[in-house]
């Protein structure tokens, strides 16, 4: 029994043209460029807290933004790897990084107590603007990652969408965080982490149809 016809093989072989293999290093470079573009755009539309970046900020500023940057990098790397699928690929780094960032709202809850935690959500007038600006800033990374996934062959679409959304939210929040002068745990632990959550949910819902093949 000739299971798949020779004609089919002939067609595929006849259609064969040289292709440039997708290299993960190019994907990483693409995300790095997207992150730099994001920071430049944020600096153009906002005001970088250069004195804080230079060391005059509280540790909370560095810890929060450092964690977000690491989460953005780990999630982006997971997405880049998903475009070149392999049985045996794991994405534990992104998962652990997300758990690490989740410590921030948990810390806020413990430090503030439930009442003040809720107050920080309801009454922080800078909260929603920070959230929206971070999500907007994350769009550059989201577009870059969707472009990368469409070039590749992702086989775990929901995971790819979720990680892409988390990466976009984290990098957007990191970039916008460089312009935000508020350094309290109540603000950073809630409103600078929320874009990651929103990005993850949005990516999980919106990205799979865009990268399905």
Partner 1 sequence: MMAAAQNGDRAVYRVLLAEAQLWLERFFAKRVPPAQRDDLVQEVLLAVHNKRASWDPSRPFFPWLAAIARYRWVDHLRKVYRSAEDELGDHDAAQDSEEEVVMARMSLERLFVHLPEKQVEAIELVKIEGLSIAEASARTGQSESLVKVNIHRGLKKLSALVEKAD
Within a 13 Å sphere around the CA of 118, how many CA atoms are in the beta-carbon half?
2
Q: Which is nearer to partner 1, 86 or 115 (CB)?
A: 86
209 belongs to the binding site for partner 1 (CB under 8 A): no
**Piece of 17-25, 126-134, 163-171, 195-203 that binds partner 1 (CB under 8 A):** 17-25
Exposure class string for 188-204: b at 16+ Cβ within 10 A, else e: bbbbbbbbbbbbbebbb
8 belongs to the binding site for partner 1 (CB under 8 A): yes
Q: By three-state DSSP, how is residue 192 classified?
A: coil
Q: Give the tokens for residue 29.
A: 């470079």
Q: By three-state DSSP, how is residue 23 classified?
A: coil
Q: Which is nearer to partner 1, 19 or 114 (CB)?
A: 19
Closest approach, Cβ 86 to partner 1, in A, equals: 4
Please state, in angstroms and as integers, the Cα–Cα distance from residue 173 to each residue in 112, 115, 190, following that order.
22, 25, 11
153 belongs to the binding site for partner 1 (CB under 8 A): yes
Q: Which of 212, 88, 198, 97 is nearest to 156 (CA)?
A: 212
29 belongs to the binding site for partner 1 (CB under 8 A): no
Choose, by CB under 8 A, the member of 87, 114, 122, 125 that binds partner 1. Answer: 87
Q: Which is nearer to partner 1, 116 or 151 (CB)?
A: 151
**Piece of 33-41, 57-65, 136-144, 156-164 that binds partner 1 (CB under 8 A):** 156-164
Q: Do 122 and 172 form a contact (C-beta atoms < 8 A)? A: no
Instruction: Please give the residue ranges that form the binding site for partner 1 (CB under 8 A).
Output: 3-4, 8-9, 12-24, 82-90, 151-153, 155-159, 213
């Amino acid at each position: 029994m000739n299971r798949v016809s020779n004609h089919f093989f002939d067609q595929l072989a006849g259609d064969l043209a040289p292709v440039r293999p997708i290299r993960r290093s190019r994907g990483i470079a693409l995300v790095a460029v997207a992150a730099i573009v994001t920071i430049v755009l944020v600096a153009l539309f906002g005001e970088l807290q250069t004195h804080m970046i230079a060391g005059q900020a509280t540790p909370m500023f560095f810890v929060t933004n450092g964690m977000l940057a690491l989460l953005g990098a780990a999630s982006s790397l997971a997405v880049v790897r998903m475009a070149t699928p392999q049985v045996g690929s794991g994405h534990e780094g992104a998962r652990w990084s997300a758990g690490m960032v989740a410590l921030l709202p948990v810390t806020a809850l413990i430090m503030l107590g439930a009442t003040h935690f809720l107050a920080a959500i309801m009454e922080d007038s800078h909260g929603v603007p920070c959230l929206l600006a971070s999500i907007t800033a994350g769009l550059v990374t989201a577009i870059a990652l969707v472009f990368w996934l469409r070039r590749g062959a992702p086989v775990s679409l929901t995971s790819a969408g979720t990680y892409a959304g988390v990466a976009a939210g984290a990098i957007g929040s990191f970039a916008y965080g460089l312009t935000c002068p508020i350094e309290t745990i109540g603000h950073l632990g809630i409103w600078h982490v929320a874009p990651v959550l929103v990005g993850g949910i949005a990516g999980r819902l919106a990205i799979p149809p865009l990268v399905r093949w």
